[in-house]
Amino acid sequence: MQKVFDTGMNIWIMAGVGSVIYFFLEAVMQTLSNVLFDTQAQKAIVLARKHIGNGAAMESSARSCLADAIAQFDAGKAESALMWAKKSLSYSVGVFHDDYRKVAI
């Protein structure tokens, strides 16, 4: 019968390789998540801009939220920008509108 690990050092090496793979995959997933939020935030901001000036009862709130969305996106905070753009859309067209549903995650 052959031993799989002769010394404790081999176990540490395998654990180290596993950790490197784990951290690499975690970084890849984080990057994909950032790209998703960037794309969704851009899409939501475009849709929110489209509905500004449509005569909604809460238009001033929609404008304020859109300004916050743009500021957050410019600061590199895509997840927050998406939230503000969705809030702007909810004020301008409502949550049951097709454009709001397009960006709802």
- Report pLDDT digits (tens) over 55-74: 989 999 999 999 999 999 99
Number of independent structural domains in the chain: 1
Q: Are 59 and 53 spatial neighbours (Cβ–Cβ below 8 Å)?
A: yes
The tokens describing 7, both together, are 């010394």
Residue-number span of the structural domain to which 39 is assigned: 9-103
Residue 18 lies in a domain: yes
Residue 59 lies in a domain: yes
Residue 102 contacts by C-beta under 8 Å, 6 or more apart in sequence? 43, 47
Residue 4 lies in a domain: no
The percent of residues above 70 in pLDDT, for the chain, comes to 82
- pTM more than 0.75: no
Residue 96 lies in a domain: yes
| Distance separating alpha carbons of residues 50 and 97, to the nearest angstrom | 13
The tokens describing 74, both together, are 């410019």
